[in-house]
Amino acid sequence: MATDPKEPIFHFFDNAAVPVAPFSHAVECDGWIQLTGQMPTDPNDDGAPLPDGIEAQTRRVMENLKIVLAELGLDLSHVLSCRIYLTHFERDYDRMNALYKSYFPADRLPARTTVGVTGLARGALVEIDMVAKRPS
């Protein structure tokens, strides 16, 4: 029995990082996928300390997002937009951008919003969520 593409599918993946709150890794409806914001947690050891510094945390977050995309049969080329949350905006913005842009071809950068926030779960410096679209 096929699922109705207009009904949401709530995805939870054993290979992805353990959620820090009660949520799905991604929710999909009609080919659109909202990936929950990922933290810089180790997907193999939820109790491990967070990486040091904005570059290492950004890398871990992007790798965690790639895991979720791979579980969906997708990759970063399917990402249409990102939202980035930084706890130390002025200090970390440029260094985060330098690493973030290395994940995308220069001519295929997703739409994006970046905001400074007063805090993130587990004391993280960065969190990123994404919207992706399955090919037709």
Task: Express each pLDDT in 44-93 by its tens digit.
Answer: 998 999 999 999 999 999 999 999 999 999 999 999 999 999 999 999 99
CB atoms within 10 A of CB 45: 10
118 Rama class: left (phi>0) / alpha (psi -120 to 50) / beta:
alpha
Task: Tell me the domains of the chain and their CATH numbers.
Answer: 9-133 (3.30.1330.40)
Q: How far apart are CA 24 and CA 72, in angstroms?
A: 13
**Residue 43 pLDDT greater than 70, yes or no:** yes
Q: How far apart are CA 79 and CA 132, in angstroms?
A: 4
**Residue 33 pLDDT greater than 90, yes or no:** yes
pTM metric for this prediction: 0.93
**What does the block give as tokens for 30?**
């009609």
- Give the per-residue pLDDT at 93: 98
- Supply the mean pLDDT for the chain: 95
